[in-house]
């Protein structure tokens, strides 16, 4: 039997401590995951992405339902989803995207208390047997490098 070492995964395994809402925390500090903080919405990189460029778009207000959003928040969120997709197209040149919400734990929401969209860029051939047979994802670019490539495009001009 062969062993595949994945020491970077230990951070995910051990990162189960409750330090509050990641989105609310991102609003109060500068970090290497938050790409944009607006008046109504924000963009945060997924710390444990499915693939490079996996972004999370959340309202600034801490709420868990679509019905709790005001009209301006809904518009702002979708415009930020659209802008983020445009930036990912420009910088990372994916072939397509998965965009969606996981509402409720049973639907896969890892952070169900703060509503957020997932934007997952996709490329032809980006899936492989490792995810199926070894429960392992291959992320070819370090998070910091992805952050450095995307951040300038989210800054005001």
With bands split at pLDDT 50, 70 and 90, how would you rate the model's confidence at 129? very low
116 is catalytic: yes
Topology of the domain covering 20-154: HIT family, subunit A (3.30.428)
Q: Is the pLDDT of residue 4 over 80?
A: no
Q: For the whole prediction, is pTM greater than 0.85?
A: no
- The per-residue pLDDT for 133 is 44
Listing from the earlier edge strand, what are the strands of the sheet with 55-59?
34-37, 41-45, 55-59, 117-122, 96-101
Reported residue count of the chain is 157
pLDDT (tens digit, 9 = 90+) per residue, 27-74? 888 888 999 999 999 999 988 888 889 999 999 999 999 999 999 999
Decide the pairing of beta strands 117-122 and 34-37: unpaired
Taking only the tens place, the pLDDT of each residue in 66-100 is 999 999 999 999 999 999 999 999 999 999 999 99
Which of 52, 44, 50, 49 has its CA nearest to residue 116? 44
Catalytic residue among 54, 114, 116, 118: 116
Domain boundaries, the chain: 20-154
* % of the chain surpassing 70 pLDDT: 80
d(CA 90, CA 87): 5
Give 109 or 79, the one with higher predicted confidence. Answer: 79
Mean pLDDT across the chain? 83
């Amino acid at each position: 039997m062969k062993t595949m070492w994945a020491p970077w995964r230990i951070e995910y395994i051990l990162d189960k401590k409750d330090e509050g809402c990641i989105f609310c925390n991102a609003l109060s500090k500068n970090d290497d995951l938050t790409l944009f903080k607006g008046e109504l919405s924000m963009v945060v990189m997924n710390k444990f992405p499915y693939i490079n460029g996996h972004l999370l778009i959340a309202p600034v207000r801490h709420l868990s339902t679509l019905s709790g959003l005001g009209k301006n928040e809904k518009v702002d969120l979708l415009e930020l989803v659209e802008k983020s997709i445009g930036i990912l197209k420009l910088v990372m040149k994916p072939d397509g995207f998965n965009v969606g919400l996981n509402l409720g734990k049973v639907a896969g929401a890892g952070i169900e208390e703060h509503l957020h969209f997932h934007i997952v860029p996709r490329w032809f051939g980006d899936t492989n047997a490792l995810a199926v047979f070894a429960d392992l994802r291959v992320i070819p670019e370090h998070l910091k490098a992805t952050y450095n490539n995307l951040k300038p495009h989210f800054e005001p001009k």
